[in-house]
Every structure is written in C-alpha cells, then in structure tokens.
Amino acid sequence: MNGPKIYFTIPILGGIPITQTTVSSFVVMVLLCVAGILLGRNLQKRPSRRQALVEKGIAMLYDMVRDTMGEHNLYWTPYIGALFLSSLGGTLIGMTGILRSTTADLSTTATWAVMTSLLCWGCGIRANGFTGWLKGFADPVPVMLPMNIISEISQPISMAFRHFGNISGGGVLTSLLYSALATLSAMVLGAVGSNPVAAAGFLAAGLALLGWGFAAKKLGRKIVGALFAVTGALALTGLSGVPYLEVGIPGILSLYFDVFSGGVQALVFSLLTMVYIGNCCPPPEEAPQS
C-alpha cells in the first residue's frame, strides 16, 4: 500500500505538495466548520429536537473533560472536542472511497500529537515558570533526568504512531482483502467458466436456492443463491475478470476498521490528550506558588 497520493505540487518555496491528506483534511475542516455553525445557530431556551441532541453531545464532552481533567480545566473542552471530531471525521472521510483518511497519514497524527505535547509544555511553564518546568525534569531525583526527557519525547511519538497505525493498518488489511477477494473470484470464475455445463448448473442451482430463499423468507439462502447464480451467469458469459466477490464482505470489515476502530482511536487520542494536558495543569490550589 502506498502513502497518500500527491495530486500536484505548487512550484513555490521549493514545491508545496498537495496530497490526498491535504485535500481530505481541508474537506473535513470545512465540513466540521459548516456543521458546527449550522448546529450552533438559532439556539433556544426551549430546545428543538436537533438542539437537544447537540446539547447532549456537547454536555457529554464537557462531562468527559470534567471527569478526566477536573473542573478547572473545563475550558479545554473546545480544543478536545475539535480534536476528537477532526480525528473521527478524518477517519470516516476515508469511507467515501474518494478521499483518503487523514488519520492514515503520519503527518496528521504526528502534528496533533506534537500539538498536544506543546500545549502540555506550555501548561507546565505557565504553572511552574520556565525554570520550574525545567527543574521538573529532574524530579524526583536527578538520575531520572534522561528518562523524563525520553518519556516527554516518546509521548507524542507513541500517540502519533498508535493512531496512524490503527487506521492505516485497517486500510492495509482492507486492501489486502480486496486483492485476495479479486484473486479468489478470478480463480472461481476460471474454474467454473472452463466448463459450460458446470456454469449452467451453478446458475440453475443458484436460481433455485434464491427462489427457495424468497419462498421460505430465509436471508442466508437468498444470499447463497444469489452468489451461485451470479457465479454461473458470469461464467457463462465469459466475464471472468469481474471481482464480484468484493461485494459485501469488505463492508463488514470496513464497519470494524473505519467506524469502530476510528471511533475508538479518536476517543483514545483525545483521552490521552486530556490526561497529558490535565497532568500538566494541576488544580489552582495545588499549583506551587512561584
């Protein structure tokens, strides 16, 4: 599997490549902004059904931030929410088939992870002062200094690769499955198509099974019947190059890799961001006075 395709390069500053990720990321941004503006418009004290739903979602985000980061960090919610929605949208946009998932590009996840780290450091500096923050690396004993530094550096890397790996891994698996299914359908069609009698038998058996399935209202028989009938029909007409087995099965896999895994990874990424930033922004009364 390749990385994101480079559509074209703007010939300034040594060439700015416009890749699939760039386009997807832009589209996701526009979609989120438009959706946000539309959903945030026309708010009433007595909410409509749409507004109640929006409020429920926003309140859930705020509750999540409150539980994870504490009451004093509640103002982080818009950032966490934007990150979560960007990640989820960036993953789901890959399901369109036209655009590539933004999160399947390390550039995207690494940027977000580095943003999280920078915010973390900013919070640490704000809470303890620059020297206090630097001294924090030598806690609790100076021997820990290299380990603390490594942990600070590895944190964004692990975040970036976790998200990227999960989504792109799903993409790799899906493409592998597609090619496997194409090979399989070519093999089946080749085997069946070499013998017209077998092909006609497949078609007849498939149609019979399909009819039985409709009569008995059994979904399994209908599906198997349709499969057999299509196999027979394609073999009879000699269209052995049609990867007809690619229909259906990858959809189930996509449900897991795109919807479930995408949601989980978006949640994990924003949860980790919340935890890291929350650790760097202790409650005001616990913050050392410097």
Partner 1 sequence: MSGFESFVGVNPWTALFTFCNAIITFLVLKKFLFKPVKQMIDDRQAEIDAMYADAEAARRQARELEQQYQERLEGVKRESDAMLRQANARAQAREAELLAEARQQAAALRQRAEAQIAQEKKKAANELKAEIGGIAMQIASRVVEREVSEQDHRALIDAFIAHVGDAS
The site for partner 1 (CB under 8 A) is made up of 1-9, 16-17, 19, 21-22, 25-26, 28-29, 32-33, 36-37, 39-41, 43, 45, 47, 54-55, 58-59, 62, 77-79, 81-83, 85-86, 102, 105-108, 110-112, 115, 164, 168
Shortest Å distance, C-beta 234 to partner 1: 33
Q: Which of 226, 97, 267, 277 is nearest to 218 (CA)?
A: 226
CB atoms within 10 A of CB 233: 17
Shortest Å distance, C-beta 77 to partner 1: 6
Return the number of the residue (37 or 252) whose C-beta is nearest partner 1.
37
Return the number of the residue (9 or 237) whose C-beta is nearest partner 1.
9
Shortest Å distance, C-beta 80 to partner 1: 10
Residue 16: phi, psi to the nearest 5? -100, 110
Q: CA-based diameter of the chain, in Å?
A: 89
Shortest Å distance, C-beta 7 to partner 1: 7
Return the number of the residue (167 or 227) whose C-beta is nearest partner 1.
167
User: CB neighbours of 218 closer than 8 A, spacing ≥ 6?
Assistant: 212
Return the number of the residue (47 or 146) whose C-beta is nearest partner 1.
47
User: CB neighbours of 67 closer than 8 A, spacing ≥ 6?
Assistant: none
User: CB neighbours of 138 closer than 8 A, spacing ≥ 6?
Assistant: 144, 145, 148
Return the number of the residue (43 or 249) whose C-beta is nearest partner 1.
43
Shortest Å distance, C-beta 29 to partner 1: 4
User: CB neighbours of 202 closer than 8 A, spacing ≥ 6?
Assistant: 192, 228, 229, 231, 232, 235
Shortest Å distance, C-beta 167 to partner 1: 12
Per residue, the 3-state secondary structure of 118-138, as one string, reads HHHHHHHHHHHHHHHHHHHCC
Locate 37 and state its tokens.
Answer: 């503006």
Residue 18: phi, psi to the nearest 5? -100, 110
Instruction: Yes or no: say if 270 and 87 are a contact pair by the CB < 8 Å rule.
Output: yes
Return the number of the residue (28 or 227) whose C-beta is nearest partner 1.
28
Shortest Å distance, C-beta 23 to partner 1: 10
Locate 69 and state its tokens.
Answer: 């980061």
Return the number of the residue (112 or 228) whose C-beta is nearest partner 1.
112
